[in-house]
Amino acid sequence: MPAAVQQIEGLRMAAEKWPSLLACEDYLYPPRLNREQASSEATACYKASLIAPHSSLTTVADLTGGMGIDSLALATVAGHVDYVERDPQLCTLMEHNCQALGTDNVSVHCGDSLEWLEHHDRFDLIFIDPARRDKGGRKVAAFEDCTPDLLLALPLLRSKGQRLLVKASPMIDITLALRQLGTVAEVHVVAVKGECKEVLFLCDSVHDGSAVVHCVNLSTLSIQNTPTTQNTLTFILSEEAAAEPRYCTAAGRYLYDPHAALRKAGCFRLLGQRYGLPLIGPGSHLYTSDLLVPDFPGRTFEVLREVKLNKKNIVEALPDGKAHVVVRHFPAEAAALQRQLGLREGGDLFIVATTVGTRRTAFLCSSPKIGEGDRR
């Protein structure tokens, strides 16, 4: 019965997280914790797209195999993938699943990945996703708190790989991580449907310049498909530091909320500069305009009116008691503010609580309706 429940739960999770696996009736799912820690198809496919342009990357080592979603994706663009995992149960499942999926260019190795690596030749790419939980099961983000300790393993990883791809927590300090890793050629901050999922560091042994930061918002896709991105923006950290911010004194007809990858990367002043949009306040990270900018990388709201955040005004503005609450640079979390105002999640309207200049306020908004003369 526990084994049956494990597979039923896995199938339910696959419908959202790994939809292509549903077509394989013989695929077996691992325990819940391993499923929760595994990459989604969207992010795994994105990793594969990073190495696809490098035709010379024929040998790949995945040192933290887990459920194997990343190995399966990397195997679609690499000549051969070595999957390494210390959990015998996961290794047995991976061997079975590769056979069930018809994937014949993945070799499964059970044991300590760093010990295994010491006794093998150099790889074109090494991928590592250190476990981000401490001995008490609490989530951690810093490289030195993960298992294995990435900073201690760096000399070995560099000696055995031409390139190194590190998957880090969405809570990682990007600036600190760049200093710790050195030779980082690219940083990829990856969101899926507006939620930041992971930060990737692609290290190249011959790179000694500034890292290029890619902020992407992925749509859900299958491992077999070519990944597509939405709302992509690329920059160098020095560009953000040098950008001059513009501020407004009042909100215009439209508000713009950068997607989660941009917020994580800290691209705010440069974003406003590139799109010609002023910020509504130094800490709000919301932009505004009177004419619509249709290709903004994030969400766009049309302002219906400014509202006071008390129940009386909210009941008048939202008689059905439904709205989505968005909080930016405001001293309350969205869920708490929603409860405080007596609102239920749903409907077509939004309450955007923020700070304009130094004034705390909120706006009743809808999704933009584009008409003649609205576009900029």
pLDDT band at 370 (very low <50, low <70, confident <90, very high): low
Reading the block at residue 337, the tokens are: 């503010």
Quote the pLDDT of residue 282.
83
Whether 239 shows a pLDDT value over 80: the answer reads yes
pTM of the model: 0.90
Q: Which one is predicted more confidently, 246 or 134?
A: 246
pLDDT tens, 298-319?
Answer: 999 999 999 998 888 898 899 9
CA dist 192 and 229 (Å) reads: 9
DSSP code of residue 39:
P
CA dist 6 and 13 (Å) reads: 11
Q: Which residue in the block uniquely carries the two structure tokens 């998957």?
A: 167
Give the type of residue at 346: G
DSSP code of residue 19:
G
Mean pLDDT value across residues 184-209:
89
Contact between 307 and 351 under an 8 Å Cβ cutoff? The reply is yes
Quote the pLDDT of residue 364.
95
Quote the pLDDT of residue 51.
84
Which of 79, 77, 75 minimizes the C-alpha distance to 49? 77
pLDDT tens, 257-293?
Answer: 999 999 999 999 999 999 999 999 888 899 999 999 9
Which of 362, 318, 367, 366 minimizes the C-alpha distance to 344? 318
Sheet of 349-356, strand order: 287-289, 254-258, 298-307, 359-366, 349-356, 324-327
pLDDT tens, 24-48?
Answer: 999 999 999 999 999 999 999 999 9
pLDDT tens, 64-89?
Answer: 999 999 999 999 999 999 999 999 99
Quote the pLDDT of residue 220.
60
Give the DSSP H/E element, type plus range, for residue 340.
Answer: helix 334-340
Quote the pLDDT of residue 227.
45
Quote the pLDDT of residue 232.
84
Give the type of residue at 159: S
User: Percent of the chain beyond pLDDT 70?
Assistant: 93
pLDDT band at 134 (very low <50, low <70, confident <90, very high): confident
pLDDT band at 54 (very low <50, low <70, confident <90, very high): low
CA dist 326 and 311 (Å) reads: 17
Mean pLDDT value across residues 192-209:
86
Beta-strand pair 349-356/324-327? parallel
Q: What are phi and psi of 170, to 5 degrees?
A: -65, -10
pLDDT tens, 340-355?
Answer: 999 999 999 999 999 9
Instruction: Spell out the residues 6+ positions from residue 241 whose beta carbon is closer than 8 angstroms to its own.
Output: none
Give the type of residue at 313: N
Taken as a whole, the chain contains a residue count of: 376
Quote the pLDDT of residue 372.
44
Whether 143 shows a pLDDT value over 60: the answer reads yes
Whether 373 shows a pLDDT value over 50: the answer reads no
pLDDT tens, 326-342?
Answer: 999 999 999 999 999 99
Mean pLDDT value across residues 214-226:
67
pLDDT band at 225 (very low <50, low <70, confident <90, very high): very low
169 burial type by CB count under 10 A (0-12 exposed, 13-18 middle, 19+ buried) = buried
Per the prediction, the chain carries an average pLDDT of 90
Quote the pLDDT of residue 371.
56
